[in-house]
Structure 1
Amino acid sequence: MKESEAKRAEDVLKEFDKESDTMEYTGFMAKIVAAIAIAFSVFQLYTATFGVLDAQLQRGIHLGFGLALVYLLYPTCKSWSRHKIHPLDLVLAVLGAAAPAYIIYEFQNLVLRAGTVSDVDLVVGAVGILLVIEATRRVVGLPMVCVVLVFLGYAFAGPYMPGVLAHRGLTLSQLVSHLYFTTEGIFGIPLGVSSTFIFLFILFGAYLESTGLGKFFIDLANAIAGWASGGPAKVAVLSSGLMGTVSGSSVANVVGTGSLTIPMMKKLGYHKNFAGAVEAAASTGGQLMPPVMGAAAFLMAEFVGVPYIDIVKAAVVPALLYFAGVWLGVHFEAKRKNLKGIPRDQLPKILTLLKERGHLALPLILIVYLLVSGYTPMRAALVAIVLSIVCSALRKSTRMKPIEIVRGLEKGARNVLGVLVACAAAGIIIGVVTKTGVGLKLASGLLELSGGMLLPTMFFTMITAIILGMGVPTTANYVITSTIAAPALVQMGVPVLAAHMFVFYFGIIADVTPPVALAAYAGAGISGGNALKTGVNASKLAIAAFIIPYIFVLSPVILMMEGTAVDLLLSTVTALIGMVALSSALIGYLADNCRAPERILLVVGGLLMIKPGLLTDVIGIAIFAIILLFQQRRKHQIQTV
């Protein structure tokens, strides 16, 4: 990659991904930050190996390390120096470590007081809550802060709220006590999952990235699909799907793979608005791809109360359908514009790649095997971290030096900060919801708005999830949508897992849904295209994510929750054919350019096939087959003239 392109990609990442916009220390300060980050990772590895501490102690130390690093790495103002720490940030870093440390120091006394807070407790708790909110502003962004502030305001304004939203209201002491000194608020389930499973998987991802796995995925995708029609676009889809197995950010995925694939797509002939959209849709889909799912899979397992491996199994078929939809979109666009692939002699050889760097993917294969075999996610991640280092040593070209292993500890701690802070802030939201009961009240409001009917309830829940997911990272996105929107579906009798997957999908798809489509805007930043048009194109390519959630609510067979293997196979095959019909309708090409009536019929046929049911499948396939044969005949007649 040219130096100018690399700089542009870095600037785009910092603009659209706040987690990447950090201080750039040198000298003594760089060593201090590195030492704190390494100590953080060592603590997490120690507790994962020898046993997790009591909930509040484990989460308190986790939050203390996280807040200290956030205030050292993310300046108060963008205009401040990026090479020298401001005294205010230094003070806040010390307070960030001290506020959770108070819980650790006073743990026995707090247990004995059993919920009664002293004046000192009140001050420390209030400071801790404010520090979490400010850290959220710096790392996650204002959308998340606004949601948190709205819920805090609601906690105090209960007596003045209209109708079902009214409640008795909370005093400052009650709120601080609940949010900071129990495991129902900041130190609740989200931070608990962050302090155990999520940290280890993010550390695992940091080591995989250090071994060069990302470059291997891109080269492998080139070898597999680079020669096909519209090759670079298919490379983007495949490589982003592979990277999504370990990545936790749509925007970071766009910049990481898009800085290589988007210029290739433009060079081949794809319009810049479409090239940016392909990478945005594919990278967003990476958050839907198991086993990590942007770290939300672990939270979902805790919230739903099912084994983690059940979440992974449920996510497999929907994720494959999503990527099939994006792949078909770029294929039909390539056929419509007659775009060829890259000559095979310019592409890497699959066997050579697997021989030279295939061992880098072994930890990913092993972690899936361990999870299926019954290992806990924490133990599986711990083994995979060790194996990633061992596997890299199998060849001299990929071997990690001792200093790189140490730097991996630092990188893992840095990479977890966004998720950590988002989980702490999400804890504030959950704390207010549990204390006021607003979750059920919002669910009742949605049900009343929809007249108690399932499809309108699903539609309003979809809109709510998309709005709540705008500009919010994956983990916090899921926590917010599952807390506020999912209860409405559960009240309608939808299985809990299906309801949570429904809101998760629509929260994630906000990354490519205008007007706040961060992944699409990042793609446009690299391609030089129009942000809004890139977002519209990305939404078309991601059409599967707007349809599939309705299907697994109406028929959870594709979540592997019910039915036989034959039912699953039939549902998957017909849904894939339906995706072919829908993608061709949106792009305007099947076997030939589609006319308006054909596009309408293809949409109808596609939706009928995606919807489970023998009658709808037969009608949908008939419509699709007739249009396909008609277009093939028309194209043949034109060619013979």
Structure 2
Amino acid sequence: MSNKEEIKTLTEEEQQALLEKYDPEAGTRKLTGIIGWIAFLGLLAFSLFQLYTAIFGVFTAQIQRTVHLGFALSLIFLLFPANRKKRQKGKLQIAWYDGILALLSVAVGAYWPIFFNDLVMSVGRLSTMDFVVGIIAILLVLEATRRAVGLPITIIAVLFLLYGLYGQFMPGFLAHRGLSLERLVQTMFFTTEGILGTPLAVSSTFIFLFLLFGAFLVKTGVGQYFNDLAVSIAGRRIGGPAKVAIFSSALQGTISGSSVANVVTSGSFTIPMMKKLGYKKEFAGAVEAAASTGGQLMPPIMGAAAFLMVEFIGGGITYWEIAKAAAIPAVLYFAGIWIMTHFEAKRIGLRGLTKEEMPDRKEVMKKIYLLLPIISVIVLLMSGVIVTHAALYSILIAIIVGLINKETRMGPKEFVLALVDGARSALGVAAATAAAGIIVGIVTKTGLGLKMANGLIDLAGGYLIPTLMLTMLAALVLGMGSPTTANYVITSTIAAPAIILLGVPDLSAHLFVFYFGIIADITPPVALAAFAAAGVAGGEPLRTGVNSAKLAIAAFIIPYIFVLSPQLLMIDTTWFELVWVIITAFSGMIAIGAGIIGYWFRKLHWAERIIAIITGLLLIYPEGISDITGIITFVALLALQIFWKRDKENTLKMSN
């Protein structure tokens, strides 16, 4: 852009400061010297171990998962300070107790590989040493999670442990016999039902590889290319920068596993453009927060939760079935934000970017090959290739694509740094999934999932809609401050069983709680993505959160629709029905967007706004009578808008 200097964007230091404020996973130490080299080599070894097992086959479950856990825990204690506000000073750079905790983590990670035969032959009987190691493992996981992920999920895990130990004192349907401390330790670390359960299993295989894939994409410049491509496609349109933010964040979400990281990365570029064009600070921040959070809902990666969903739903469901089912709701979500920003721009009279402010489209299109790695993931998964192999092939394609251009070509140093960065990004996920394993283990042992499900259904009087509303509230609360993977594990374990008991298909139920767990990031009072966006925009955090929740209205509506009518998820539907669902749903989002913003072709009266919103809901709900009623009302509203607009234009011409 010729006047790029006029748009004040955040420096790398400012971006990092914001990330550290709102995203615990970003608050790592800057180590140097011997400790720095130990951490660097540890991260490199972590990636090499994961690549080795992906290529040559994983080890036995307990060995694969404990080695993965040992790497993650030890590196977290080296890289994440106990108190982020008080960075350790001095030559040692880390506190003495961090060194001890890191060594204990190595010991915990090595325990299963060293004593595998003895532990298998013990048939559940714990020696004194086993018991001590199990206790240490639980405490290390909790402290590492607190440091790398944050307090919310740590507190939830502790509460579940206490529930497991003292369940006999709980009131009503929540009561259970209670677990002895020895049985609790055995479940948590010496079975595959606790810390070493399904969440960590997925982290130690699929998730790590896709995070590594994301690190290689960053090294090839794909992240920056997303911004350039978004500007090239959407920049000239009405309210262009807002649409750039939406398009760019949707693309960023395919490689990022964090709403906050999405906000800071793409928002440092798009929010200043929006403000310069005339959007208010809170609205500019809200657009970026809503779009960046939606990146977690966008296939193929979906914040890595889709891989967990395969394991949790079971029944032979494939990753591709989940990604395919999530596609239309995700596109509708972004369409809703796009439509509302368009109407807002028209309402306040904003323009798009000028030709001089735009990048050279020819130059941008010359680099379209940079999208090949992402396209390859989709094609490979569609073709039925094993998920781990799809990730490996995509990493290889990313490296090859990077060789095409000198600017993106990776030398040995960049290759090693990509491996290190990939391992670093996996630390928080490993800790979160280990903590989530604690929650799943307690739920399994106590039957809490079924108890909570029956409790919610009883509270809702056995009716589906009230149960969905209570489940939504539970998912929003449980999802506050939790990363995507842990967020999904918690909500799917505690909240999803309630609606499954009422006959809702498993996939619909899991996507329902996944949606509401994700949008907790932009739902006040704990709206981390919105608060990070407010930090970039300089706006008021709570107001930014309210605006972002309003822009993300589709995420509050669509889950209800695909539970009530699974055609939206392409379940048991024909191509004709699918096309019809897409057309009516998009028309519905136009009507809802106009109603919420209060503008279509002209300013809407309050009665028109209500009618437009109701019309939109009728159109989104894929059912014959509602669709026909919605279409008739939609056409009538559209005709009136066009008529009144032309009448106003003719009146102005006559007066002139």
Q: Tell me the TM-score range normalised by the shorter chain.
A: over 0.9
1:91-106 matches, cutoff 5 A: 91-106=100-115
Counterpart contact for 1:148–1:429, Cα < 8 Å: yes
Q: In structure 2, which of residues 346, 358, 367 is the aligned counterpart of residue 347 of structure 1?
A: 358
SS, match of residue 82 in structure 2: coil
How far does residue 617 in structure 1 lie from its aligned partner after superposition? Answer: 1.2
**Equivalent residue number for residue 88 of structure 2:** 81
**Equivalent residue number for residue 66 of structure 2:** 60
1:265-284 matches, cutoff 5 A: 265-284=274-293
1:127-526 matches, cutoff 5 A: 127-305=136-314, 306-355=317-366, 357-526=367-536
Matched AA of 2:369: H
Once residues 629 and 531 of structure 1 are traced to their aligned partners in structure 2, the CA distance between those partners, rounded to angstroms, is 39
How far does residue 109 in structure 1 lie from its aligned partner after superposition? Answer: 0.4
1:382-420 per-residue CA deviation (whole Å, 9 max, x = no partner) reads: 111111111101111211121000011100000001111
1:614 aligned onto 2:614:
no
1:633 aligned onto 2:620:
no
The TM-score with structure 2 as length reference comes to 0.96
Moved more, 438-447 or 80-89: 80-89
Counterpart contact for 1:6–1:259, Cα < 8 Å: no
How far does residue 38 in structure 1 lie from its aligned partner after superposition? Answer: 0.3
Counterpart contact for 1:520–1:538, Cα < 8 Å: yes
SS, match of residue 409 in structure 1: helix
Matched AA of 1:160: F
Once residues 5 and 262 of structure 1 are traced to their aligned partners in structure 2, the CA distance between those partners, rounded to angstroms, is 13
**Equivalent residue number for residue 565 of structure 1:** 575
Counterpart contact for 1:359–1:392, Cα < 8 Å: no
Once residues 626 and 563 of structure 1 are traced to their aligned partners in structure 2, the CA distance between those partners, rounded to angstroms, is 29
Q: Which runs of 5+ in 2 are unaligned?
A: 1-6
Once residues 372 and 249 of structure 2 are traced to their aligned partners in structure 1, the CA distance between those partners, rounded to angstroms, is 18
Matched AA of 1:275: A
How far does residue 100 in structure 1 lie from its aligned partner after superposition? Answer: 2.4
Once residues 106 and 599 of structure 2 are traced to their aligned partners in structure 1, the CA distance between those partners, rounded to angstroms, is 58
Once residues 37 and 283 of structure 1 are traced to their aligned partners in structure 2, the CA distance between those partners, rounded to angstroms, is 28
Counterpart contact for 1:469–1:507, Cα < 8 Å: yes
SS, match of residue 586 in structure 2: helix
1:15 aligned onto 2:21:
yes
Q: In structure 2, which of residues 38, 46, 60 is the aligned counterpart of residue 32 of structure 1?
A: 38
SS, match of residue 74 in structure 2: helix
1:597-608 matches, cutoff 5 A: 597-608=607-618
Q: In structure 1, which of residues 69, 76, 83 is the aligned counterpart of residue 75 of structure 2?
A: 69
1:107 aligned onto 2:124:
no
How far does residue 423 in structure 1 lie from its aligned partner after superposition? Answer: 0.3
Counterpart contact for 2:10–2:536, Cα < 8 Å: no
Once residues 384 and 165 of structure 2 are traced to their aligned partners in structure 1, the CA distance between those partners, rounded to angstroms, is 45
Matched AA of 1:43: F
SS, match of residue 137 in structure 1: helix
Counterpart contact for 2:512–2:559, Cα < 8 Å: yes
How far does residue 359 in structure 1 lie from its aligned partner after superposition? Answer: 2.2
Once residues 147 and 237 of structure 1 are traced to their aligned partners in structure 2, the CA distance between those partners, rounded to angstroms, is 33
Matched AA of 1:257: S
1:99-152 per-residue CA deviation (whole Å, 9 max, x = no partner) reads: 121122111100000111111111110010000000111011111011111111
Counterpart contact for 1:364–1:384, Cα < 8 Å: yes
Once residues 638 and 232 of structure 1 are traced to their aligned partners in structure 2, the CA distance between those partners, rounded to angstroms, is 29
Counterpart contact for 1:611–1:617, Cα < 8 Å: yes
Q: In structure 2, which of residues 584, 594, 599 is the aligned counterpart of residue 574 of structure 1?
A: 584
How far does residue 613 in structure 1 lie from its aligned partner after superposition? Answer: 1.2
Matched AA of 1:216: Y
SS, match of residue 393 in structure 1: helix
Counterpart contact for 2:168–2:175, Cα < 8 Å: yes
Matched AA of 1:90: G
Superposition RMSD in Å: 1.2
How far does residue 632 in structure 1 lie from its aligned partner after superposition? Answer: 2.5
**Equivalent residue number for residue 46 of structure 1:** 52
Once residues 351 and 12 of structure 2 are traced to their aligned partners in structure 1, the CA distance between those partners, rounded to angstroms, is 27
Once residues 101 and 466 of structure 1 are traced to their aligned partners in structure 2, the CA distance between those partners, rounded to angstroms, is 38
Counterpart contact for 1:23–1:82, Cα < 8 Å: no
Once residues 123 and 311 of structure 2 are traced to their aligned partners in structure 1, the CA distance between those partners, rounded to angstroms, is 25
Once residues 429 and 414 of structure 1 are traced to their aligned partners in structure 2, the CA distance between those partners, rounded to angstroms, is 24
Matched AA of 1:629: A
Sequence identity, in percent?
Answer: 55
Once residues 375 and 229 of structure 2 are traced to their aligned partners in structure 1, the CA distance between those partners, rounded to angstroms, is 16
Once residues 302 and 343 of structure 1 are traced to their aligned partners in structure 2, the CA distance between those partners, rounded to angstroms, is 49
How far does residue 27 in structure 1 lie from its aligned partner after superposition? Answer: 2.6
Counterpart contact for 2:254–2:299, Cα < 8 Å: yes
**Equivalent residue number for residue 529 of structure 1:** 539
Once residues 279 and 518 of structure 1 are traced to their aligned partners in structure 2, the CA distance between those partners, rounded to angstroms, is 12
Once residues 3 and 10 of structure 1 are traced to their aligned partners in structure 2, the CA distance between those partners, rounded to angstroms, is 13
Once residues 533 and 170 of structure 2 are traced to their aligned partners in structure 1, the CA distance between those partners, rounded to angstroms, is 42
Matched AA of 1:413: A
Q: Which runs of 5+ in 1 are unaligned?
A: none
Matched AA of 2:406: K
Q: Using a 3 Å threshold, how does the CA distance of structure 1 residues 63 and 361 change in structure 2: closer, same or farther? A: same
1:12-50 per-residue CA deviation (whole Å, 9 max, x = no partner) reads: 111001100100112322221110000000000001001
Counterpart contact for 2:9–2:269, Cα < 8 Å: no
**Equivalent residue number for residue 555 of structure 1:** 565
The TM-score with structure 1 as length reference comes to 0.98
How far does residue 82 in structure 1 lie from its aligned partner after superposition? Answer: 6.4
**Equivalent residue number for residue 3 of structure 2:** none
Counterpart contact for 1:69–1:93, Cα < 8 Å: yes
How far does residue 354 in structure 1 lie from its aligned partner after superposition? Answer: 2.5
Counterpart contact for 2:174–2:451, Cα < 8 Å: yes
1:538-574 per-residue CA deviation (whole Å, 9 max, x = no partner) reads: 0111011001101111111121111101111111110
How far does residue 351 in structure 1 lie from its aligned partner after superposition? Answer: 3.4
How far does residue 445 in structure 1 lie from its aligned partner after superposition? Answer: 0.1
1:46-67 per-residue CA deviation (whole Å, 9 max, x = no partner) reads: 0100111000000010000000
Once residues 210 and 509 of structure 1 are traced to their aligned partners in structure 2, the CA distance between those partners, rounded to angstroms, is 29
